[in-house]
Structure 1
Amino acid sequence: MRKLQKLSVINKILAGQALIISLVIAGFFMLGNDLSSKSALYGGLAALIPNWYFARKINKHKGQEAKKVVRSFYAGESGKLILTAMLFALIFQDPKIDVVAVLTTYIAALTVFWFALLIRKY
């Protein structure tokens, strides 16, 4: 528990996303559908990889002048959006994909941001 307290907010969010993604994949796996499990993994990666990229981009300029931080924020967000679009384009190249599982996991991973805001508020 002590290690979790030392993590930055960004790393806590990424860890929370990884946890939610794992739970959703496990849920699809327990339903006994390998295609849905694989699709859920793809959806989770489509959420986690761009967010990890964004976090790395932001942390690179942490503590520097505001202009560099803002520039890295916009570059990170642009890269994140492009990376997300590319990952979805790759995912949907596979004709045997469960779209519901992909989107369910992707949306579940994004909800971590909402809960992080609610928790931080209190």
Structure 2
Amino acid sequence: METRTPNRLPFHRWPVFPVLLAQLIVLLLAALVLWQWQGKVSGYSGLMGGLIVWVPNLYFAYKAFRYTGARAAQAIVRSFYAGEAGKMILTAVLFALAFAGVKPLAPLALFGCFLLTQMVSWFAPLLMKTRFSRP
């Protein structure tokens, strides 16, 4: 009997999809506003700041929601830990690449969009339509 049950749901049906979609919309709107208000450098710096949050979260969602079912509990826990570790490493690498490889860069726009996009995750319970209740 297979203990690991791969999740066969399409990506748009995962429970985390509304949060990822909201993050993508927020980062694109923030980058567009910065581009119009502050110029091209702030626009692409803000876009990079938002993507530094969104890409690792996308990786974590893939790792964390890969398995389903009670029999796959150990695989789910391992996937969560691996996903979180990968998310941290990917975030650090993307920050290093942004600061080392992109010139000119607007650090205030980068960190501002980073925080704004991250705040969507903090307020994710407000975005969820389903309420979890005990049977």
For structure 2, the 5+ residue unaligned runs are 1-11
1:37 Cα shift?
Answer: 0.4
- Could you tell me the percent identity over the aligned residues? 37
1:119 Cα shift?
Answer: 4.5
Structure 1 stretch displaced more, 43-52 or 110-119: 110-119
Q: Report the structure, 1 or 2, having the larger helix content.
A: 1
Distance, in Å, in 2 between the alignment partners of 1:119 and 1:39 is 27
For structure 1, the 5+ residue unaligned runs are 1-5
2:117 aligned partner, one-letter code: A
1:118 Cα shift?
Answer: 3.6
Q: Name 1:3's counterpart in structure 2.
A: none
Distance, in Å, in 1 between the alignment partners of 2:117 and 2:105 is 19
1:59 Cα shift?
Answer: 1.8
Is the counterpart of residue 87 in structure 1 residue 94 in structure 2? yes
Is the counterpart of residue 8 in structure 1 residue 26 in structure 2? no
Which of 96, 99, 102 does residue 107 from structure 2 map onto?
A: 99
Which of 20, 29, 54 does residue 26 from structure 2 map onto?
A: 20
Indicate the SS of the match to 1:103.
helix
Structure ID, larger Rg: 2
Superposition RMSD in Å: 1.8
Structure 1 stretch displaced more, 63-72 or 46-55: 63-72
Contact 2:18–2:128 (8 Å) recurs in 1: no
Normalising by structure 1, report the TM-score: 0.87
Normalising by structure 2, report the TM-score: 0.79
